[in-house]
Amino acid sequence: MSDEAAVKIIVRPNGPLRVEGPIQLTDADGKQWDLTGKPAISLCRCGASAKRPFCDGSHNKIGFQCSASPEAILT
Ligand code: FES
C-alpha cells in the first residue's frame, strides 16, 4: 500500500481519534455517512459527544483524560 492510499489514525491525547485518508464510515447496518470534501474526521472516544460518532469538543468540558502511545516504535 502506498502512503497516498493509507489511512492514518492519530490518537489525540485526552481527545478524539483523528482519521486521515480515504475514509468510508458506516453504521452497523452499512449506512454510510457523507464525508464528501472531508479529508479528515475526528471520532469521539470519550462518549460525551452529542454528534457521535464525531467529536464535538465535549471531551474538554468533561475533562476526559486518556493518552495512549505504542510500547514499541515502528520505523
Ligand atoms: S473525544 Fe471529543 S467529544 Fe468525545
Q: Which three cell numbers stand for residue 68?
A: 495512549
pLDDT tens digits for 4-51? 678 999 999 999 999 999 999 999 999 999 999 999 999 999 999 999
Smallest Cα–Cα separation from 9: which of 51, 22, 1, 65?
Answer: 22
Of 43, 59, 65, the one to substitute when testing ligand 1's pocket (max ligand atoms within 8 A of C-beta) is 59
Overall pTM surpassing 0.75 (yes/no):
yes
pLDDT of residue 41: 98
Domains in the chain, please, with CATH?
A: 1-75 (3.40.5.90)
pLDDT of residue 64: 97
Of 17, 41, 43, 44, the one to substitute when testing ligand 1's pocket (max ligand atoms within 8 A of C-beta) is 44
- 74: confidence class by pLDDT, cuts 50, 70, 90: confident
